Structure formats: C-alpha cells, structure tokens
Structure 1
Amino acid sequence: MPNNGFRDLERHLKKIAKDIEKQSEEEVPVQALLNEAFMEQYTEFNSFDAFLEALPDGSFEDMLANQRDMVDTFVNEKTNFESWDAMLYKAGEIYMAKKLKKLF
C-alpha cells in the first residue's frame, strides 16, 4: 500500500503542472509585463506610459506594425535591450518567474 505522503505529493505536483499550463496560455496585458518596477530597472522611464509618450508621433500599434525598425532603434537607445521583442521576452520571463514562485 503506497504511502499517503507520496499520493499527496503526486496530487500537489499534478495541480502545479495544471496551474503552469493554464498560466502559460494566459494572455497578459503589456502593462502587466512592463510594470513600473521593470521599467525603472531596465529603461530610462518610470512607467510604460512615459515610454509611450517619449516615442515619436504616431500610435504605438501603428509603429509596431509599420515602423518596427524605428521602435527597435528607440528601445535599443532608451533601454537595456536591443529590440522590442527582447524587452518583452525579458519582461515575460520575470512575470512567469513570479507566477511560478507563488505556486511553490
């Protein structure tokens, strides 16, 4: 007869695996990824809004779609990252690490 402690551990690990899968599929708003702490640590800005205000004229979504090189150049000059994608990737890593830490 298996030890109840092992069954409890197995159930707990299965629950954690389900939670990780669920969270990895979650769509996270950019503002949650690029929060004030992230922006202050990795950029010249204290918020994502300040970052957006410093961009050249035009909507950010339009710039990402039509002038990606300009956005990447701006990110390279004003942050610790070479591109928008690199900045988002790091922000996503930090966000997921915090989420995973809460599970354990």
Structure 2
Amino acid sequence: MSFDELLKELQGMRTNEDAQEHVSLEMLFNESFMKRYSSFNTFKEFLEKGNFQATSHEDISNIPDELLDRHVARETNFTNWKSMLDQANAEYAARQ
C-alpha cells in the first residue's frame, strides 16, 4: 500500500470516528440495544442506576474508567465500557 493510499484510509477512519461522536447516546444505545444486552429499557436508566449524570459523549468520557467498567460488567452482558461502546457503534453503523 502506498503512502497516499494509507493516508486516505486513515483520513477515512478519522471521518468515521468524528461522525460517531456526533451520534446521540440515545441513538447509539437505543431501546432495542439496551433490552438485548441489559435489564434496562433506556441508556438513561442504566446511567441512573450507576448514579452517573451524563447526556453527552463528553460527559461519559469524564466518568472514571474503572467506575464505568465496573457498572457495565455488573449491569450488562459486556465486560467493560469499551466492549459495550464498540458493539453499539457496530450496530449503529450496520443500521446506516
């Protein structure tokens, strides 16, 4: 792969990451997703159970990783936040 091809591929990856950051948490963790992987109907309920107050990706990123990972492992079918987020991103991308 040439340098130009690699650069174009990396730029494309960055565009996809940027687009995912603009997807609302409610769209990413929709009711179907939450019911499938947890006992909650909404992502808001999931956050409230963990005593987290978050309405944006930035708010989520301000929660200490170990607290969020522990809550995800306890309340969902995922072992940590990254695996939950990756699955939500993959399912969202598949719907688009």
Match of 1:59 among 50, 53, 56: 53
The Cα shift of 1:29 comes to 1.3
Amino acid at match of 1:90: Q
Distance (whole Å) between structure 2 residues aligned to residue 34 and residue 66 of structure 1: 17
Distance (whole Å) between structure 2 residues aligned to residue 42 and residue 48 of structure 1: 11
Distance (whole Å) between structure 1 residues aligned to residue 32 and residue 94 of structure 2: 15
The Cα shift of 1:67 comes to 2.3
**Structure 1 residues 37 and 70, CA gap change in structure 2 (3 angstroms):** same
The number of equivalent residue pairs is 77
Q: How do 1:1-104 and structure 2 match up within 5 A?
A: 24=16, 25-26=18-19, 27-56=22-51, 58-60=52-54, 61=59, 64-99=61-96
SS at structure 1 position matched to 2:88: helix
Q: Which residue of 1 aligns with 2:9?
A: none
Distance (whole Å) between structure 2 residues aligned to residue 98 and residue 66 of structure 1: 28
The Cα shift of 1:65 comes to 2.3
More helix by proportion, 1 or 2?
1
The Cα shift of 1:59 comes to 3.0
Identity of aligned residues (%): 31
TM-score, with normalisation over the residues of structure 1?
Answer: 0.63
Amino acid at match of 2:78: F
**Structure 1 residues 29 and 74, CA gap change in structure 2 (3 angstroms):** same
